Amino acid sequence: MTYLHTGLVTTNCDISPSQTSIPDINSGDGTTVDHFVYGNGTNGTTVELFKVYNGGHDWPGAFGNYDISSNIEIWKFFSRYDINGTLNLIEIEDDNSFNISPNPVRNTLTVIRASSEDVPFHVLSMDGKEILSGELTDMTNGVDVGGLNPGTYIISVQSITQRFVVQ
């Protein structure tokens, strides 16, 4: 019996998953990812699988595949549960959220926010070192990343982070 089968039997989840392709934000790593969710388990539980194609034995987000971060996905999954099942948390729209484009980027990363309040931003390498920082002063801001080496980076705005790729 496989771990997946054991998880489905133990939680009484559906045997047919919903499947979502994860955006290939780093086409240079030669991998793609699909997210499978087996839902409707006891007390709202789910079994989830991220299948990395051409990834080998790696830790996504740290080496190999850079389309997802294993650390983030594991935390997002387990933070929804306690010993009794789902916590039934209500997701609220965060006024601090932001969108970035294009991704991958060559020179200017556009940051779009719901607020024009002045807030700091930080660009970090994947090992957590601050590479550059500045201030976002409008709802639409351009961040010059043209001087960064090609690779995957993290932009942090008010403790919310997003990954982006510099080509």
pLDDT at 86: 62
Shared domain for 123 and 82, answered yes or no, is no
Domain termination site, one of 37, 65, 86 = 86
Can you name the residues that pair with 119 across neighbouring β-strands?
136
pLDDT at 149: 95
Domain-embedded: residue 8: yes
pLDDT at 109: 94
pLDDT at 119: 93
pLDDT at 95: 56
Residues of the chain falling short of pLDDT 70: 1-5, 7-8, 62, 81-96
pLDDT at 8: 67
Shared domain for 13 and 75, answered yes or no, is yes
Shared domain for 120 and 157, answered yes or no, is yes
pLDDT at 87: 58
Can you name the residues that pair with 52 across neighbouring β-strands?
33
- Structural domain harbouring 132: 98-166
pLDDT at 89: 47
CA distance 139 to 30: 34
Shared domain for 74 and 8, answered yes or no, is yes
H helices within 13-150, ranges in order? 70-78
